[in-house]
Amino acid sequence: MSLVEHVQRRTKIIRPSGRSTDFIAPSFGHGCLLNCTYCYMKRHKPVGLSVAKNVNDILTEINSHAWFDTTVVKPNQTHEQYITYDISCNEDFALHRKYYDWENIFQFFVEHELAMGSFATKIIPTEFLEFNPQGKIRIRFSLITPRIADDLEPNTAAITDRIKAVNKFIEAGYDVHLNFSPVVVYEGWLTDYAHLFAVCDALISKEHQEKVLAEVIFLTHNEAKHFYNLDNKLTGEDLLWTPEKQEQKTSQYGGRNLRYRRDLKAKYIRQWQDLHDEMIPWNKIRYIF
């Protein structure tokens, strides 16, 4: 049985985002062929990927929305000029690129007067370097500390390689940000982040550093995903499931989630941001929570 199915995407709702982007576009893909143990997508679709056959219908919806929505005021922290759309909220678009006419999707944003596409990834899509998006596509390279990456993000690109890729993608015409997500608290976490920040400072070219902004998202885990990970012998639950530091919060969709306790999280955010701003002050934080 194939893990990838091609479907007619019937739901084409564009949802507000407000943090990473202005809006979340309808899903080109739903699911993921990676197996990151913290992934919220895996809570809803543990296995496989559905790929939209009607890509042009989705682009038409984005076009109409960009021209007729009146809720976004520019400039804002997502972009100074363009209305930003996350085209990969429910998948890793770069990983699944072979299933799409991705050049057509990118060209749509290049030619659009108002709209810009954005996605986060844990891999390095070298084919994208042959396309010049003229600053209308934003790639957010996801970063966690290398010490825990093998347990939490198996079969993804090495963290150092993601950082090295920043220069290449900027020079190819992409807008590139760092996606520090999820921030996981464990013994020695700040020491590991100090090393990560030092690598960012060393590998991202000085001429590009001011262009590279950041988004920072602390871990949210999920009770059902916790037991799924245990049942399937996935690694990393000792890092993700720490009830002594976490509190329950029911999501808007009814999921029983665990987040760091508010008092602890405020301290963790302060510690992380102080270290970040001391070591890589050029990496302006767009938002942190």
pLDDT tens digits, one per residue of 90-144: 999 999 999 999 999 999 999 999 999 999 999 999 999 999 999 999 999 999 9
Say which residue, 11 or 288, is predicted with more confidence.
Answer: 288
CB-based contact 200:163 (threshold 8 Å): yes
189-203 helix and 262-279 helix, angle to the nearest 10 degrees = 30
Q: pLDDT-derived band of residue 151, with 50, 70 and 90 as boundaries?
A: very high
Dist CA 46 CA 29 (whole Å): 14
Secondary-structure class of domain 4-288 per CATH: alpha beta
Q: Residues with Cβ < 8 Å from 27, sequence gap 6 or more?
A: 9, 52, 89, 90, 91
Give me the residue spans of the domains in the chain: 4-288
CA neighbor of 94 nearest in space, from 106, 82, 78: 106
- Mean confidence (pLDDT) of the chain: 95
Strand 115-121 vs strand 137-143: parallel, antiparallel, or unpaired? parallel
Mean pLDDT over 187-212 rounds to 98
| The pair of three-digit structure tokens given for residue 126, joined into one six-digit string | 């070298």
Computed over its alpha carbons, how large is the radius of gyration of the chain? 19
What confidence tens digit (pLDDT) does each residue in 268-282 have?
Answer: 999 999 999 999 999
CA neighbor of 142 nearest in space, from 98, 196, 97: 196
Instruction: Give the predicted TM-score (pTM) of the model.
Output: 0.95
Q: pLDDT-derived band of residue 253, with 50, 70 and 90 as boundaries?
A: low
